[in-house]
């Protein structure tokens, strides 16, 4: 049989494989069947293994096989060629190893059903240890493909049992693997842990109970290696975004370690910035107090505020912006906003920065942050805080306004709406949140310059800007119409009509009025 497939015109195969893989999209089942009718898989595999010195043949065949195995028909052929996959996972060529890892993913995605065929093949053929070898010893692309394959394996109960067996196997135990590999390999193992953690709540529980998050803790403690610590912080940043991540991460000492980094004046600025952002993400959920007490949240807010006080006269704008953004993330939940406003220094810092026209990046970050704190991203029935927090917020905003030439909050808002689009978008979110407060609603609705900007369909030219402006108008009108006091006020009747008309037109440019197209590319000067 091998002799039958060994005689093939490699030039024809090269041309056919190149043509087949040239299309950047996924090939159809029919196209795969047609190609394999001319060049059966054994022919392609034999040519790949005995490619000799034919330039470009390996790359063409690998691209061709990758497209074949991505289809359901191609994946159905994989079980018949497991010996080739096993050899490929141990090949010298990184491209072949990469292909083999991707082929395992295709096998799992296309053939894993209630019968457990794919995982059975992986277990019977000892594929999992080979994937781990590709993870720690392969090049970057191979490591990514191996990580993806292991994550796909964890999506089934049978696969989970291979990765987390009842009786741990020393050769494949993830903790042991991290301990015996290089620093690069260890970071890759940590990245695998994060990927597994994000698979499902069940797998996250296994990761936590296996103390694999402890490996991340240990790396964060190693502040002597900035690059390694930064790599781990990037993984934690990803971990904090996982839906069920907060529940498990907050059970560890990771938050305390992040606070230590934020307060460490000798640490690299980028480490402190990342620590702030991760802390903000971890504490941004509305149910955060189910997993942590108020004192820990207050400690994070204080640490960030203390660091920002040091940066007041510093040129390190990036770290300052990260700190302000982190405060906004914490304040995006109702309880987080209450705790942040209770820290007068931190709250005043955000409000002052939001209306400081001199620090551009800092102001933009603070505007978004303040927008979160006042409820710009929270549901309508959850924008307001408790009485003490509301009184403190109102006092802070009026104090800030009185210390500027604008004198009143509406003057500050108008100055923001006269800035560039990115500032206006942040301003819309701020107005949407603050508009739930009657004192601020009066400020906005009594300032016709503001209403004119908000209700002008041509104020914004980008989709995100148009939608932000429209959502802001809707929020103001809902707040206005919810109070009979405001609706019956003759001074506000005209404003309500303008808001209704703007809502009727929709978020995008009104029909019947078109701006003349403006050229975006200038013609070249000629000699």
In angstroms, the CA 325 to CA 319 distance is 10
Q: Where are the alpha helices (DSSP H) in 126-182?
A: 127-137, 140-153, 157-163, 174-180
pLDDT value at residue 89: 96
Residue 241 has pLDDT above 90, yes or no: no
Q: Which is nearest to 195 in space by CA: 236, 151, 155? A: 151
**C-beta of residue 70 within 8 angstroms of C-beta of residue 109:** no
Token pair recorded at residue 147: 């990580």
Positive or negative, the CA dihedral 309, 312, 317, 321 is: positive
> What is the pLDDT confidence band of residue 525, given thresholds at 50, 70 and 90?
very low
Can you list the positions of beta strands (E) in 255-309? none
Q: Helix 213-221 to helix 226-239 angle, to the nearest 10 degrees?
A: 140
Which of 14-18, 114-118, 293-297 comes out lowest in average pLDDT? 114-118
pLDDT value at residue 52: 62
**C-beta of residue 451 within 8 angstroms of C-beta of residue 495:** yes
Share of the chain above pLDDT 70, in %: 93
**C-beta of residue 491 within 8 angstroms of C-beta of residue 451:** no
3-class DSSP state of 340 = helix
Backbone angles phi and psi of 296, in degrees to 5 = -70, -40
In angstroms, the CA 177 to CA 171 distance is 7
pLDDT value at residue 227: 84
pLDDT value at residue 517: 45
Specify the residue for token string 């995605």: 109
Cα atoms found within 13 Å of the Cα of residue 381, Cβ hemisphere only = 0
* Average pLDDT score over residue span 364-385: 94
pLDDT value at residue 169: 85
> What is the pLDDT confidence band of residue 276, given thresholds at 50, 70 and 90?
very high
In angstroms, the CA 324 to CA 305 distance is 9
Token pair recorded at residue 513: 């009025």
Residue 10 has pLDDT above 60, yes or no: yes
In angstroms, the CA 423 to CA 409 distance is 16
In angstroms, the CA 195 to CA 427 distance is 36
Each residue of 46-84: pLDDT tens digit? 888 876 677 888 899 999 999 999 999 999 999 999 999
> What is the pLDDT confidence band of residue 2, given thresholds at 50, 70 and 90?
very low
Q: Which is nearest to 341 in space by CA: 279, 384, 277? A: 384
Q: Which is nearest to 384 in space by CA: 455, 304, 440? A: 440
Each residue of 415-426: pLDDT tens digit? 999 999 999 999
Token pair recorded at residue 401: 């306004």
Each residue of 156-201: pLDDT tens digit? 999 999 999 988 888 899 999 999 999 899 999 999 999 999 999 9
Q: Of the segments 2-11, 225-234, 361-370, which one has the largest average pLDDT value?
A: 361-370
Under DSSP, the state recorded for 510 is P
Cα atoms found within 13 Å of the Cα of residue 52, Cβ hemisphere only = 6
**C-beta of residue 207 within 8 angstroms of C-beta of residue 235:** no
**C-beta of residue 446 within 8 angstroms of C-beta of residue 477:** no
Q: Residues for the chain: how many in total? A: 527
pLDDT value at residue 512: 45
Q: What is the dihedral of CA 349, 350, 352, 354, to 10 degrees?
A: 160
In angstroms, the CA 105 to CA 118 distance is 10
**C-beta of residue 40 within 8 angstroms of C-beta of residue 80:** no
Each residue of 438-493: pLDDT tens digit? 999 988 988 899 999 999 988 898 999 999 999 999 999 998 888 777 767 777 77
End-to-end CA distance of the chain: 69
Specify the residue for token string 């050899």: 87
What's the mean pLDDT when you consider all of the chain?
89
Residue 513 has pLDDT above 50, yes or no: no
Each residue of 44-53: pLDDT tens digit? 988 888 766 7
* Average pLDDT score over residue span 424-431: 96
Which helix (DSSP H) or strand (DSSP E) does residue 85 occupy?
Answer: helix 82-89
Each residue of 105-129: pLDDT tens digit? 999 998 866 678 899 999 999 999 9
In angstroms, the CA 93 to CA 141 distance is 12
CA-angle at 364, arms to 359 and 368, nearest 5°: 145
Count other C-beta atoms under 10 Å from residue 12's C-beta.
Answer: 11
Q: What are the boundaries of each domain within the chain? A: 405-508
Tell me the helix, strand and coil percentages in the chain, rounded to 5. Answer: 70, 0, 30
> What is the pLDDT confidence band of residue 432, given thresholds at 50, 70 and 90?
very high
More confident residue, 181 or 3: 181
pLDDT value at residue 492: 74
Instruction: State how far the alpha carbon of 263 is from the alpha carbons of 135, 250, 308, in Å.
Output: 35, 19, 10
Specify the residue for token string 């303040």: 370
């Amino acid at each position: 049989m091998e002799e039958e497939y060994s005689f093939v015109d490699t030039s024809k195969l090269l041309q056919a494989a190149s043509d087949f893989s040239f299309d950047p999209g996924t090939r159809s089942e029919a196209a795969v069947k047609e190609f394999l009718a001319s060049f059966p898989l054994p022919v392609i595999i034999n040519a790949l293994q005995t490619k000799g010195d034919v330039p470009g043949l390996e790359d063409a065949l690998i691209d061709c096989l990758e497209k074949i195995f991505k289809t359901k028909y191609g994946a159905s052929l994989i079980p018949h060629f497991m010996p080739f996959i096993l050899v490929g996972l141990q090949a010298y060529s990184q491209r072949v190893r990469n292909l083999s890892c991707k082929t395992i993913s295709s096998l799992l995605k296309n053939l894993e059903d209630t019968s457990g065929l794919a995982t059975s093949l992986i277990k019977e053929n000892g594929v999992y240890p080979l994937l781990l070898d590709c993870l720690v010893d392969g090049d970057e692309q191979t490591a990514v493909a191996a990580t993806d394959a292991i994550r796909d394996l964890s999506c089934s109960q049978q696969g989970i049992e291979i990765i987390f067996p009842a009786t741990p196997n020393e050769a494949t135990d993830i903790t042991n693997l991290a301990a015996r590999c290089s620093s690069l390999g260890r970071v890759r193992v940590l990245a695998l842990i994060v990927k597994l953690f994000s698979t499902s709540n069940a797998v996250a529980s296994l990761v936590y109970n296996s103390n694999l998050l402890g490996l991340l803790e240990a790396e964060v403690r190693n502040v002597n290696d900035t690059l390694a610590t930064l790599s781990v912080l990037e993984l934690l940043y990803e971990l904090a975004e996982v839906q069920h991540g907060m529940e498990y991460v907050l059970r560890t000492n990771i938050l305390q370690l992040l606070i230590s980094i934020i307060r460490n004046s000798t640490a690299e600025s980028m480490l402190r910035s990342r620590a702030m952002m991760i802390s903000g993400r971890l504490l941004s959920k509305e149910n955060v107090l189910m997993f942590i007490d108020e004192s820990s949240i207050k400690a994070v807010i204080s640490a960030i505020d203390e660091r920002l006080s040091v940066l007041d006269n510093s040129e390190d704008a990036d770290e300052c912006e990260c700190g302000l953004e982190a405060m906004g993330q914490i304040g995006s939940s109702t309880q987080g906003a209450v705790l942040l406003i209770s820290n007068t220094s931190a709250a005043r810092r955000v409000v002052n920065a939001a209306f400081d026209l001199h620090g551009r990046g800092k102001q933009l970050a603070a505007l978004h942050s303040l927008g979160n704190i006042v409820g710009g991203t929270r549901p309508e029935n959850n924008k307001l805080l408790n009485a003490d927090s509301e009184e403190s917020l109102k006092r802070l905003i009026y104090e800030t306004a009185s210390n500027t030439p604008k004198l009143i909050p509406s003057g500050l808002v108008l100055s923001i709406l006269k800035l560039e689009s990115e500032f206006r978008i942040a301003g819309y979110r701020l107005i949407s949140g603050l508009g739930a407060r009657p004192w601020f609603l009066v400020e906005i609705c009594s300032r016709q310059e503001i209403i004119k900007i908000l209700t002008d369909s041509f104020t914004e030219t980008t989709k995100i800007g148009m939608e932000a402006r429209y959502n802001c108008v809707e929020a103001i009108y809902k707040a206005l119409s919810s109070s009979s006091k405001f609706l019956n006020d003759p001074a506000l009747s005209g404003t309500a009509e303008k808001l209704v008309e703007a809502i009727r037109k929709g978020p995008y440019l009104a029909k019947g009025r078109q701006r003349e197209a403006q050229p975006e590319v200038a013609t070249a000067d000629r000699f």
